[in-house]
Structure 1
Amino acid sequence: MKCAFGKADILTTVSNTLTQLKDSESIIAQVLSEVTTKTNIIDKLVLENEQLKHNVQELNLRLNSVMADTMNKSGTFENTNDEYSNTKLAQRFDSHVKQIWIEVNDEIEEEFNEVDRLSILSEMCQNVFTAFHTEVDFANQRILDSIFSDEKTFDDSLLKEVRSARKLYSGKSTTREKQIEKILQSIQWSKEINRIISERPETLIKTFLAELADVSWLMVTSNPPLILNFDVKGKEYTARIKERFVECGTSEAISHCKCEPGHVLLVAWPSVELENNKGYLTKGEVVVMPNEINNKMTI
């Protein structure tokens, strides 16, 4: 029996098969080339994505730095991560320092009546803060005078720059310790307070002064600086003062005090405020002189 396919047919079939194989190889090569191209594009996109992430992180860091610096210089906002922010300083003064103040008040209870104790502690507090406030204000003025000696007045932005630079270093422990020691030694105490301090070298009074001095330094070197308000003493206890001070009741009758009824006899605890009456952070406490009826009722 003869084969249905001739030799020519076999050769044609083989040729066609080889052609198909070549076409398949070409297609496979093309596909592989496209896969390689796509892979390279993907790898490039991955690298670009990583670079973009890095750039975004860098921009965020720079933005945070700029914002922190802007807040610091402007004094309008606070950096909540700053342990020496005005809000945290006010809280520290009104909690930690005040607690020691209460303990000192109890410590000298047997030696003085209530009003005298509050007056002595108020005077101590005011003397310390005033000393720090005066020193820093004078130092800031010296800096501005040395740079702009021909100017009679200074733009607020210049003072903010000086305060911003001072704040960067004021929180350092070595700077604080030196300044606090120097300023505390410069205070001229009254004979009464000097006696109390000298008779109690290792008591809460020294701790109170140290804590008060430390927070006072941080307050006056902040930007904007904080102040302790004692200025309402002797003024009528009006609604305006009530916004920043609460009345502090006394357990002992108030007598022999030169103060008009309804007026602030003394600032037992100052309010913490921004300078130039721009607002307050914590309220203070005042003793108000009672009128005759209230005074008789107390007795």
Structure 2
Amino acid sequence: MTTASLGAAVLVLAGCGAVRSEPSPAEGRINVVTSTNVWGSVVQAIGGSAVDVRPLISDPIVNPHAYESVPDDAAEVAEADLLVFNGGGYDEFVEKILAAAPRDRPTVDVSALADEPQQPLPESHAAEGHGHSHDHSINEHFWYDLHAVDAAADRIAADLGELQPARAQEFAANAERFRAGVGQLQEQARRIAAARPGAEVVATEPVAFYLLEESGLSDITPDSFVDAVEAGNDPPAAAVAEIQDALDARRVTALVFNPQTESAVTAQLRARAEQVGIPVVLMTETLPAGQDYLQWMGAQVASLGAAEGLR
């Protein structure tokens, strides 16, 4: 058969439906879409070679709070065998996609798995007498809530097991190993709490609220500063001055700094902390290149522990 006739034969076969359709999740790799690479890493740890994971946000300089979805994102969400997103208004672009086109396939909203996702932040997690109430309806940074991460791992393993029943035990075992790693992070946080109960810190954004709480630390950042940063506004001068005074007096043990929401004001506070010798602990919203969730969070917890004098 000539090359031309062979090509024609292939075209005829294709026209007759001889080309096989895409495999189902039970036959091939499971297509998983996540809002950020943080949850993508959690899925990868549990799904292993059975999953293809596509985070919609993986660039470390992108602020997920402000991310605007593109048409390709909606298509990815619609076609995913499993969708995992943070929820709680954090990755609101995913919630908008789902509102416009609801899914009938497995979907994990981590905010729904948190212990008490609809409860406000504590009335006060500052030192007595300072009155910082942080009265927000919800803190949406659930990947710093190690208990929520635990629950998400179990749910992801269960959903993957339903999509590929033959590998359900493998997913469950992977989740158990992952949760053991999370347990080690919890133990590190408990060591900080035991060593420095109530030690005061300030933060440029409440991204690490749950981890600070787990570590027994008291965030004395003024409410007006937190509210302004969360709203994308410049903090009041009085609030900035209050933080500067706390740094200058070495009243706080660390400045928790989110480089992904850095502004001229927060950069000045970081410089001030470094000038007076206050440790600056970086807490980010997405994974650095080349690290998985446990490596990344482990390094951050270790950095927090070092700021509190643990070695």
Larger radius of gyration: 1
TM superposition score normalised by structure 2: 0.27
**Higher RCO, 1 vs 2 (CA within 8 Å, ≥6 residues apart):** 1
TM superposition score normalised by structure 1: 0.28
